[in-house]
Amino acid sequence: MRRLRIGVTGLSGYLGERLAPAIVAAGHEVLDLGRAAGVDLTDPATVGPVVIAASPDAVIHAAAANPGRPESTFDAVNRAGTAAVAEAVVRAGARLVHVSTDVVHDGRHAPYADDAAARPCNEYGRTKAAAEAAVAALDPSAVVVRTSLIYGLHRIDRSTAGFAERLQRGEQLALFADVIRQPVWVEALATGLVRLATDLADVTGTLNLAGGQAVDRATFGRRLLRHWGVDLDRAGDLVTEVRAAERTTDVPLDLRLRLDRAVGLGLACPGVDEVLAAHRR
């Protein structure tokens, strides 16, 4: 097998930091296409020269402005930044694997097929849907991977860490009991993305890649808090369950995904309970 040069945006992020070892384990070379290399996704002019000079065989575009960051950054990073990456990858003659999200859906028509049309209901979803459209227009040979909540067992994820910190301060923690997702183990996602950049480089269009278990956010939150050693019995009434539908209109409620295509390609989609059971602390 030829050793490929695989560029990664967002290499310092939660997903990106597991992509690097996955690429190396597959026998390929990692190219940093992030800020350290001079790429600023809020300034599209910085993208092309770096990507082309790096001469990658493939690029995994994992960088994004995610919820928790100012909404003012969403369009610049997610739409315009992604369009600049796609254009640069085409000019470099490389393979593009773009990481998207299940939040491009409205949460009213689950389960969603791989090719389901995007119907976002919040600003983050709208900019990620616009990014998908830009990739499809600029590089029809690319694959757009729609994934879900990313968690790992190598390091606590930002969301769960925030939950734990609030409980430690004695603050109330309200978890959504009516928001259904398919959390994805970062190791399985990273391995799948690398395969899509290499031995599955003929896969195009949109592809769902998430965990095989649908679970509500409250249950998922409790599972991960317990894994990281938070005593929920001691927390007692600090942890409550609420309904997102009664509080807001911009949270998609049911984002179950059909994984037929991913499974058919041999990509691992372990559910959260399966992963936690295999990695008990």
Burial class, 1, CB count within 10 angstroms (exposed 0-12 / middle 13-18 / buried 19+): exposed
Per-residue pLDDT tens over the stretch 96-105: 999 999 999 9
pLDDT number for residue 72: 85
- Total domains in the chain come to 1
Is the pLDDT at 68 greater than 90? The verdict is: no
Q: Which domain holds residue 94?
A: 5-154+184-211+256-270
Q: What is the mean pLDDT of the chain?
A: 96
Residues 30/194, Cβ–Cβ less than 8 Å: no
Is the pLDDT at 281 greater than 90? The verdict is: no
Residue 87 lies in a domain: yes
Residue 178 lies in a domain: no
The model carries a pTM of: 0.97
Residue 33 lies in a domain: yes
Is the pLDDT at 109 greater than 80? The verdict is: yes
Strands 239-242 and 173-176: parallel
Residue 239 lies in a domain: no
Residue 243 lies in a domain: no
One-letter amino acid of 46 = T
Residue 218 lies in a domain: no
Residue 230 lies in a domain: no
> Is 188 in a helix, a strand, or coil?
helix
Task: Identify the band that residue 275 occupies on the pLDDT scale cut at 50, 70 and 90.
Answer: very high
Per-residue pLDDT tens over the stretch 41-65: 999 999 999 999 999 999 999 999 9
Per-residue pLDDT tens over the stretch 111-135: 999 999 999 999 999 999 999 999 9
* Residue 149 DSSP symbol: -
Of residues 22, 16, 9, 21, the one with CA closest to residue 196: 22
Other residues' Cβ atoms within 10 Å of the Cβ of residue 281: 8
What's the rounded Cα separation, in Å, for the pair 58 and 135? 14
Strands of 58-61's sheet in order across:
29-32, 5-9, 58-61, 95-101, 143-147, 205-208
pLDDT number for residue 81: 97
Task: Identify the band that residue 248 occupies on the pLDDT scale cut at 50, 70 and 90.
Answer: confident
CATH of the domain at 19: 3.40.50.720
Write down the number of H helices and E strands in the chain.
11, 12
Residue 275 lies in a domain: no
Strands 180-181 and 215-216: antiparallel
Residues 157/151, Cβ–Cβ less than 8 Å: yes
Per-residue pLDDT tens over the stretch 125-179: 999 999 999 999 999 999 999 999 999 999 999 999 999 999 999 999 999 999 9
Q: Let me know the angle formed at the C-alpha of 257 by 251 and 263, rounded to the nearest 5 degrees.
A: 155
